[in-house]
Amino acid sequence: MSHPLDHATAAPSTLPSYLQQDNLGPWGVYLQQVDRVEPYLGNLARWVETLKRPKRTLIVDVPILMDNGTIAHYEGYRVQHNISRGPGKGGVRFHQDVTLSEVMALSAWMSIKNAAVNVPFGGAKGGIRVDPKKLSQGELERMTRRYTSEIGIIIGPNKDIPAPDVNTNEQIMAWMMDTYSVNQGSTATGVVTGKPLDLGGSLGRREATGRGVFTVGVEAARHIGMEISGARIAVQGMGNVGGVAAKLFAHAGARVVAAQDHGGTIYRAEGFDVPALLAHVAEAGTVAGFAHAERMNNHEFWSVDCDILIPAALEQQITASNAGIIKARMIIEGANGPTTPEADDILQDRNILVLPDVIANAGGVTVSYFEWVQDFSNFFWSEDDINARLVRIMKEAFGAVWEVSQDKKVSLRTATFIVGCTRILHAREMRGLYP
Ligand code: GLU
């Protein structure tokens, strides 16, 4: 017997008021990406509206006592974009420029990413609009704990599992895990991932995103006949993602010739001594001032002579204004959302291959999934096991995306969205509408 839903189509609908703005920011970028995938969704397209509005959007006030005796208020968010395939999953970002639009977009990219590598999670993201570098350690801890408590109503090991992102780390995950656990009266290691090893963290998690970037880079290079040994690489962001990717590429014989971060840009035609550069960054907090390199103007970074460009910092770095001067043959998006749709078109016209964030940086959440499984089973795996499983998942996922892109003659971004959105909307359709 046929079900009324079998014949249902999407009705024209009005967006929720908070989504009706002229400048939607990163969320607007995400919506354009969804528009590009819609023609490839077949019958599932009638569910596409699901992807265009986050399921739950929580905005919280985070008041804390400052060291000087005043009370400061910060704006915090947790957005669950989609939970059709499993609990929400995605990081928490502390940054002075965090906005609701950004957190919504990041949560949506998590939905696509988790589906693209086929881990059983939906997509979520959180953030606090704060410059954490201006807080003392005590203030940072109080802010993290109050934020965790405020979003405690929607997170949990089976509901939504935060993790590190920009400016958050293992210590912050430890405080989040502790706050959630204290509030509910028992230790719940599985409520966050990216924890310290002694608190249920996973071997390999810290390096996982960079390792994933490296893995898909090597796979793509193989497809286009590019040698990694001797390839020249430019990296924006030398943190947990860019730093690890730079180290692995250098280890494979590539030359990291340019690096940029909030402190400035450096260049060395023969390639940096990457371990020495990372030691400098650990000490100085920036690539600037590294002794064995020349300084370079920030804008020049984009036109540097290189084979591979790795944006591994923040969103909207590659735009219509610099996409035309990029010399790389391949861009690997370590960051989330670094390329605007206009820049995507320019890069495609110029035959520059873009490995999109939603597959290229999925290594982090893949090992987060391993961590979550280990926490549930209380059985911990070896680092070799973890890395081998990570590489297998990344290679398989990238191979599937590559095939879709060849078959449908679309960019790797649209191909990843086709794979991800199809999985999400298929789950959505099978679950059906309630009531
Ligand atoms: N913040 C990382 C990302 O953007 C990891 C998220 C996670 O492990 O849940 O993919």
CATH number of the domain enclosing 139: 3.40.50.10860
Q: Ligand 1: does its nearest atom lie under 6 Å from the Cβ of 132? A: no
Mean pLDDT, residues 289-313 taken together = 97
> Would residue 224 count as lying in a domain?
yes
Q: What is the DSSP letter of 261?
A: E
Q: Which residue has the higher pLDDT, 22 or 358?
A: 358
Q: Ligand 1: does its nearest atom lie under 6 Å from the Cβ of 336? A: yes
Residue 248 is predicted with a pLDDT of 98
Tokens of 92: 């928490």
Q: Ligand 1: does its nearest atom lie under 6 Å from the Cβ of 167? A: no
Q: Are 365 and 110 in contact (CB under 8 A)?
A: yes
> Would residue 422 count as lying in a domain?
no
| pLDDT (tens digit per residue) in 321-371 | 999 999 999 999 999 999 999 999 999 999 999 999 999 999 999 999 999
Q: Ligand 1 mean position to 165 CA, how many Å?
A: 6
Residue 38 is predicted with a pLDDT of 97
Residue 213 is predicted with a pLDDT of 98
Report d(CA 105, CA 124) in Å as an integer.
9
Q: Ligand 1: does its nearest atom lie under 6 Å from the Cβ of 165? A: yes
Same domain, 183 and 221: no
Q: How far is CA 162 from CA 152, 159, 274, 415, in A?
A: 11, 10, 31, 27
> Would residue 435 count as lying in a domain?
no
**DSSP SS3 for 332:** strand
Q: Which atom of ligand 1 is nearest to the CA of 194?
A: 8
Q: Ligand 1: does its nearest atom lie under 6 Å from the Cβ of 387? A: no
CATH assignment of the domain containing 273: 3.40.50.720
Same domain, 156 and 234: no
Report d(CA 416, CA 33) in Å as an integer.
11
User: Nearest CA to 194 among 161, 163, 171?
Assistant: 163
Q: Ligand 1 mean position to 388 CA, how many Å?
A: 19
Report which protein residue has its CA nearest ligand 1's atom 8: 365
Q: Which atom of ligand 1 is nearest to the CA of 161?
A: 9
> Would residue 34 count as lying in a domain?
no
Residue 288 dihedral angles phi and psi, to the nearest 5°: -60, 140
Same domain, 88 and 119: yes
Q: Ligand 1: does its nearest atom lie under 6 Å from the Cβ of 148? A: no
Q: What percent of the chain has pLDDT over 90?
A: 94
Q: Are 27 and 105 in contact (CB under 8 A)?
A: yes
Ligand 1 pocket test: pick from 114, 206, 209 the residue with the most ligand atoms within 8 Å of its Cβ: 209
Q: Quick one: pLDDT band at residue 163, thresholds 50, 70, 90?
A: very high
| pLDDT (tens digit per residue) in 128-156 | 999 999 999 999 999 999 999 999 999 99
- The sign of the torsion formed by the CA atoms of 92, 98, 101, 102 equals negative
Q: Ligand 1: does its nearest atom lie under 6 Å from the Cβ of 143? A: no
User: Nearest CA to 402 among 225, 227, 216, 214?
Assistant: 216
Same domain, 155 and 215: no
Q: Which atom of ligand 1 is nearest to the CA of 106?
A: 4
Q: Are 58 and 79 in contact (CB under 8 A)?
A: yes
User: Nearest CA to 256 among 309, 215, 327?
Assistant: 309
- Tell me the DSSP string of 352-420: -EEE-HHHHTTHHHHHHHHHHHHHHHT----HHHHHHHHHHHHHHHHHHHHHHHHHHT--HHHHHHHHH
User: Cα angle at 238 between 235 and 240, to 5 degrees?
Assistant: 120
Residue 86 is predicted with a pLDDT of 98
Same domain, 351 and 277: yes
Q: Ligand 1 mean position to 346 CA, how many Å?
A: 28
Same domain, 228 and 90: no
User: Nearest CA to 33 among 105, 87, 137?
Assistant: 105
Residue 12 is predicted with a pLDDT of 67
User: Nearest CA to 210 among 146, 171, 141, 256?
Assistant: 256
Residue 220 belongs to domain spanning: 208-360
Residue 19 is predicted with a pLDDT of 73
Q: Ligand 1: does its nearest atom lie under 6 Å from the Cβ of 206? A: no
The residues near 141 (Cβ < 8 Å, ≥ 6 apart) are 175
How many separate domains does the chain show? 2
Same domain, 186 and 251: no
Ligand 1 pocket test: pick from 81, 110, 213, 216 the residue with the most ligand atoms within 8 Å of its Cβ: 110
Residue 5 is predicted with a pLDDT of 75
Place of tokens 């669950």: 80
> Would residue 410 count as lying in a domain?
no
Q: In the listed set 341, 360, 379, which residue is the last one of a domain according to the structure? A: 360
Tokens of 417: 């969205």
357 alpha-carbon distance from chain centroid: 7
Residue 24 is predicted with a pLDDT of 77
Residue 371 is predicted with a pLDDT of 98
Same domain, 130 and 227: no
Report which protein residue has its CA nearest ligand 1's atom 9: 90
Enumerate the active-site residues. 125
Q: Ligand 1: does its nearest atom lie under 6 Å from the Cβ of 111? A: no
Q: How far is CA 181 from CA 152, 159, 173, in A?
A: 10, 14, 12
Place of tokens 């994933």: 212
255-261 and 353-355 strand pairing: unpaired
Report d(CA 241, CA 368) in Å as an integer.
15
The residues near 165 (Cβ < 8 Å, ≥ 6 apart) are 90, 91, 92, 93, 106, 125, 127
User: Nearest CA to 276 among 268, 334, 133, 328?
Assistant: 268
| pLDDT (tens digit per residue) in 244-270 | 999 999 999 999 999 999 999 999 999
| pLDDT (tens digit per residue) in 166-177 | 999 999 999 999
